[in-house]
Amino acid sequence: MDDSVDRYIHYLMVEKGLAAKTIESYSRDITRFLTFSTEKGAAALSDIDTPMILKYLIALRDAGLSSRSRARHLVSLRGFFRFAFQEKQIPHDPTRTVDLPKSTFKLPDILSIQEVKQVLEAPDMESPRGCRDAAMLELLYAAGLRVSELVSLKTGDVNMEMGLVRVLGKGARERLVPIGRYAQEKVEAYRTRARPLLAKGLRSPFLFLGPGGKPLTRQGFWKILKRYAAKAGIAKPIKPHTFRHSFATHLLEGGADLRAVQTMLGHADISTTQIYTHVTRDRLREIHRQYHPRG
């Protein structure tokens, strides 16, 4: 069994290019299950059947794990056993007919288009920091970036002529994401007017600078976002990922193709992107109830 796990981990690292933390999570889940199955009498991978998978999920539930945590374990096992089956290490995939626990995913919090507009217009463009903050917020929404991707951008990563931003995402996967004229204008204003003042004579490869010309941190940006959300009068909880969720949802509601949104978000698996289709379906139901004469 250990050899099968090692081969799978190598596959995730080399061929899938997943991030180290993701691989560590998968490895931990799989190891925990294999310990359970060994205690239940499985001497080899081929001894594990569907009832064993179900018993494990029940054991996780009895241990107090939420449906979301149990679903994560099942996703880890699905990937492992699918790989083992494809590699002909086992005669069948015992997870194939096992459904994810109900209420698996918490639908992401999103902002309306008007709420996003209010936050984007909150910074004062006349001050260097306000100019920087406006550029960061606009770029965050324009490209659906993770906050770690935003603060890691280098000065050459935004191509004004082509209207693209180059992003280094999870697992060191690079992607190019289009940005609109609003983001381009704000970034250009920041680069020419505000960044030289914030740099204080220091040379830095990073695009967005904090105190003393040092790179802005994730925590620093979170505080900035909270301040502008309050200034814009947004009462609901808001964090950097809220903009990423809103980016994806607004694109899909506007008719964007799911595969295109997957590419722009940098998701390795389209199943991760599909959560946003649940959001849009809920919105459609809400609109139907509100406006249809027999809703």
Give a yes or no: residue 140 inside a domain: yes
Is residue 131 domain-shared with residue 247, that is, in the same domain? Answer: yes
Give a yes or no: residue 95 inside a domain: no
Give the amino acid at 91.
P
Structure tokens at 294: 């027999």
Maximum Cα interatomic distance, the chain, rounded to a whole number of Å: 70
Buried b (16+ CB within 10 A) or exposed e, 274-294: ebbeebbeeeeeeeeeeeeee
Structure tokens at 198: 């914030």
Is residue 28 domain-shared with residue 158, that is, in the same domain? Answer: no
What does each C-alpha distance from 162 to 98, 119, 155, 166 come to in angstroms? 46, 26, 15, 11
Q: How far apart are CA 259 and CA 126, in angstroms?
A: 39
pLDDT at position 270 is 77
Give a yes or no: residue 128 inside a domain: yes
Give a yes or no: residue 92 inside a domain: no
pLDDT tens digits for range 249-275: 888 888 888 888 888 998 877 777 877
Q: What are phi and psi of 106, to 5 degrees?
A: -85, 120
Q: How far apart are CA 148 and CA 221, in angstroms?
A: 10
3-state helix, strand, coil in the chain (%, to 5): 65, 5, 30
CATH number (domain holding residue 122): 1.10.443.10
pLDDT at position 278 is 67
Range of the domain at 57: 2-86
- Token pair 């069994």 is at which residue? 1
pLDDT tens digits for range 172-183: 788 999 998 999
Q: Which neighbouring-strand residues pair with 79?
A: none
CATH number (domain holding residue 17): 1.10.150.130
The DSSP letter of residue 130 is: H
Is residue 146 domain-shared with residue 276, that is, in the same domain? Answer: yes
Structure tokens at 212: 């003393």
State how many domains the chain has.
Answer: 2
For the chain, which residues score pLDDT lower than 70? 101-107, 278-288, 290-295
Structure tokens at 125: 């463009």
Which residues have a catalytic role annotated? 146, 170, 241, 244, 267, 276
The secondary structure element, H or E, covering residue 170 is: none
